[in-house]
């Protein structure tokens, strides 16, 4: 079979996957010069499930925006058209299934590798100064699209390709060329071109195995092709039986192709495994406990050192290696725990940050649904804090924020979640708490703040705070959503401020309850 025959068979195959309607339409829309943000938002909003997924990712650590994104219109406005297009295509690609034929192709492994390549591409390009990272994730995700297409279109023949690779580590491109007269980069490129993809997404698919072949002169595409190529090397460290070889190549070629320094490369290598696990959570794939690059290389070195040893030596080395590996694992766990804390803790107040709050609220809502219990949320704002800052200065303001946080933390239960929502706004998640109980907690905190004397070495200060309360039992409310739950608390906080501040307001459909 030659290349022309293969491409014709692929493009005319009944087994060829089709893009979901929204994905196809967004490609058409974004190709037009007169497309507006509203056009994109209206299109995506038509698909409720897709909209929910995009909002989940937009509010996750994947972007780490300080503010809550509560609508697709807001997401498009903040993320931009290209980033939203990339999210739509990412979810569409990850939803593709095989055709009617029975396949030996491991879809689950393919999705995991593709998602890992997307994460790796993003990590790499984020370390390149001035690089445009809006579309790198989808480029990394799609770079091996041709493998999926070929496996679906020619299941029997592609099984033979996989057998060649599995038995002798036969180079995948050579194996594909021997069987089909072409390889997966070209097949993926032609299919994506047939779907109407723009060049910025097409060309990294074609050149991700050989980025120096791209001669088009577009700097963004050139850098994206190089990042996709390097991502493939990183994935080979994670999933091949020769991680040291690919690790050495990555460090050399990352420097040669993109000018990355040792600090850049160390950051990428250290972050990859945790970012892959997080991406699996955001995009709905079951990826857990990915081994760190350091652990993989350590294990590979141990295997290498055992070659040609006699039994007693091997046994001694195994014991020694086991101890070393246990020590390394313990150190990595401690470091990962420390890094996790740093990522979740607000640097000034030393309480949880907005990112942690969003994840924690998701978990507590899930728990409330499982246990059929109530959940309450407090939004808290220090009254007239801007004026306070202007009067006494930001150093005093920072002192107040830290003391205020410590005061709230002291007054709540151990399993309640206190976080800095942003600026002078704070939030508390109260699990298994009714509306009346939540109001009682808010009243206690409001009084505690009002009565507290904030003392620094120079003088004493007095502040007050306003509290907005929302409470729900998610299992009994078909309209319940996290976004609306936060909006309810925010609306109640607004009412508390409007009523004079230094008080509590509870959200209700027809009336608000105040504590004066």
Going from N- to C-terminal start, the domains of the chain cover 18-95, 100-292, 306-344, 354-515
**Band of pLDDT at residue 103, cut at 50, 70 and 90:** low
Domain 354-515 adopts which CATH fold?
Answer: Alpha-Beta Plaits (3.30.70)
Q: Which tokens is 515 given?
A: 């504590």
* Superfamily covering domain 100-292: Hypothetical protein af1432 (1.10.3210.10)
Strand partners, 381: 425, 466
| Cα separation values, 6 from 10, 107, 154, 319, 424, Å | 6, 22, 9, 53, 62
Q: What is the pLDDT of residue 490?
A: 94
- Is 340 a residue whose pLDDT tops 70? no
Closest CA to 224 of 313, 107, 126: 126
Q: Which tokens is 44 given?
A: 């995506």
- Give the residue carrying structure tokens 């779907």: 195
User: What letter does residue 270 receive in the DSSP assignment?
Assistant: H
For residues 169-192, give the mean pLDDT: 87
Q: Which tokens is 431 given?
A: 């699990």
Q: Are 379 and 467 in contact (CB under 8 A)?
A: yes
Percentage of residues of the chain with pLDDT beyond 90:
46
Enumerate residues 6+ apart whose C-beta is below 8 A from 60: 278, 282, 358, 359
DSSP helix/strand/coil, 445? helix
Closest CA to 128 of 263, 259, 291, 299: 259
Q: What is the pLDDT of residue 283?
A: 83
For residues 324-332, give the mean pLDDT: 79
The whole-chain average pLDDT of the chain stands at 87
- Is 512 a residue whose pLDDT tops 70? no
- Is 516 a residue whose pLDDT tops 50? no
Q: What is the pLDDT of residue 483?
A: 92
- Is 166 a residue whose pLDDT tops 70? no
Q: Are 461 and 392 in contact (CB under 8 A)?
A: yes
pLDDT tens for 403-457 read: 999 999 999 999 999 999 988 999 999 999 999 999 999 999 999 999 999 998 8
Q: What is the dihedral of CA 25, 28, 31, 32, to 10 degrees?
A: -100
Q: Which of 179-193, 207-221, 236-250 has the lowest mean pLDDT?
A: 236-250
Q: Which of 314-323, 347-356, 361-370, 459-468 has the lowest mean pLDDT?
A: 314-323
- Is 468 a residue whose pLDDT tops 70? yes
Strand partners, 472: 375
Q: What is the pLDDT of residue 336?
A: 67
Q: Which of 48-52, 326-330, 449-453 has the lowest mean pLDDT?
A: 326-330
**Band of pLDDT at residue 163, cut at 50, 70 and 90:** confident
Helices 184-194 and 172-180, axial angle in degrees (round to 10): 70
pLDDT tens for 209-233 read: 999 999 998 999 999 999 999 999 9
């Amino acid at each position: 079979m030659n290349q022309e025959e293969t491409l014709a068979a692929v493009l005319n195959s009944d087994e060829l996957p089709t893009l979901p309607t929204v994905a196809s339409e967004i490609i058409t829309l974004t190709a037009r010069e007169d497309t507006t943000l509203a056009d994109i938002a209206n299109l995506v909003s038509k698909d409720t499930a897709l909209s929910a997924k995009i909002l989940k990712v937009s509010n996750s650590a994947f972007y780490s925006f300080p503010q809550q994104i509560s609508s697709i219109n807001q997401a498009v406005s903040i993320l931009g058209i290209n980033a939203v297009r990339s999210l739509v295509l990412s979810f569409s690609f990850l939803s593709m299934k095989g055709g009617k034929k029975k396949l030996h192709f491991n879809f689950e492994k393919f999705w995991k590798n593709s998602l890992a390549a997307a994460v790796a591409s993003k990590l790499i390009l984020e370390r390149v100064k001035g690089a445009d990272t809006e579309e790198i994730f989808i480029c990394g995700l799609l770079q091996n699209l041709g493998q999926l297409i070929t496996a679906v279109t020619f299941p029997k023949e592609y099984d033979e390709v996989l057998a060649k690779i599995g038995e002798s580590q036969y180079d995948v491109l050579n194996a594909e060329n021997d069987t089909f007269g072409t390889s997966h980069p070209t097949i993926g490129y032609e299919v994506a071109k047939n779907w109407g993809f723009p060049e910025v997404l097409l060309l990294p698919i074609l050149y991700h195995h050989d980025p120096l072949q791209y001669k088009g002169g577009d700097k963004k595409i050139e850098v994206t092709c190089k990042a996709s190529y390097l991502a493939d090397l990183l994935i080979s460290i994670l999933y091949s039986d020769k991680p040291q070889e690919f690790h050495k190549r990555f460090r050399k070629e990352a420097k040669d192709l993109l000018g990355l320094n040792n600090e850049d490369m160390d950051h990428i290598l250290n972050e990859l495994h945790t970012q892959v696990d997080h991406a699996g959570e955001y995009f709905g794939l079951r990826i857990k406990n990915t081994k760190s690059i350091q652990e993989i290389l350590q294990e590979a070195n141990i295997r290498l050192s055992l070659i040609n040893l006699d039994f007693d030596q091997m046994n001694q080395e195994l014991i020694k290696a086991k101890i070393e590996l246990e020590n390394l694992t313990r150190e990595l766990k401690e470091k990962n725990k420390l890094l996790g804390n740093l990522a979740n803790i607000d640097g000034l107040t030393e309480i949880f940050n907005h990112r942690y709050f969003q994840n924690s609220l998701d978990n507590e809502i899930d728990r409330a649904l499982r246990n059929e219990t109530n959940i309450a949320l407090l939004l808290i704002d220090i009254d007239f804090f801007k004026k306070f800052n202007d009067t006494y200065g930001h150093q005093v303001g920072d002192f107040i924020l830290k003391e205020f946080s410590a005061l709230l933390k002291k007054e709540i239960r151990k399993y309640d979640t206190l976080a800095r929502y942003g600026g002078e706004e704070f939030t508390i998640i109260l699990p298994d708490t009714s509306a009346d109980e939540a109001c009682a907690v808010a009243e206690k905190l409001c009084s505690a703040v009002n009565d507290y004397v904030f003392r620094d070495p120079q003088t004493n200060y007095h502040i007050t705070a306003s509290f907005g309360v929302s409470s729900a039992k998610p299992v009994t409310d078909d309209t319940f959503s996290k976004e609306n739950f936060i909006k309810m608390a925010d609306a109640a906080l607004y009412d508390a401020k409007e009523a004079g501040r230094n008080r509590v307001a509870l959200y209700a459909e027809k009336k608000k309850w105040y504590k004066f």
